[in-house]
Amino acid sequence: MRAWRALTPAGRTGLSIAVATGLYGISFGALSVAAGLGFWQTMALSALMFTGGSQFAYIGVVTGGGSGASAFAAASLLGVRNAVYGMQINRMLRPRRWTRLLAAQVTIDESTATAAAQDTPDEQRRGFWAAGLGVFVFWNLFTALGALLGDVVGDPRQWGLDGAAVAAFVALLWPRLRGREPVAVAVACAMATALALPWLPPGMPILVAAAVAAAWGLWPPRRRTAT
Partner 1 sequence: MSTDWGWLLLACAMAFATKLVGYLLPARWMAGPRMARVTGLVTIGLLASLVVVNAFADGARLALDARAGALLAAIAALLLRVPFLGVVVIGAASAALLRLAGLG
Give one DSSP letter per residue of 103-138, joined into a string. HHHT-SHHHHHHHHT-SSHHHHHHHHHHHHHHHHHH
Minimum CB distance to partner 1, residue 142 (Å): 15
Please provide residue 170's backbone torsions phi and psi, each rounded to the nearest 5 degrees. -70, -30
Closer residue to partner 1 in complex, CB, 100/140: 100
Closer residue to partner 1 in complex, CB, 149/173: 173
CA dihedral 200, 180, 164, 209 (to 10 degrees): 10
Closer residue to partner 1 in complex, CB, 122/132: 132
State the DSSP code for 153: S
Closer residue to partner 1 in complex, CB, 38/122: 38
Minimum CB distance to partner 1, residue 107 (Å): 5
SS3 state of residue 27: helix
Residue 156's contacts (CB-CB under 8 Å, 6 or more residues apart) are: 23, 24, 26, 27, 162
Minimum CB distance to partner 1, residue 139 (Å): 14
Minimum CB distance to partner 1, residue 175 (Å): 9
Minimum CB distance to partner 1, residue 149 (Å): 19
Closer residue to partner 1 in complex, CB, 17/30: 17
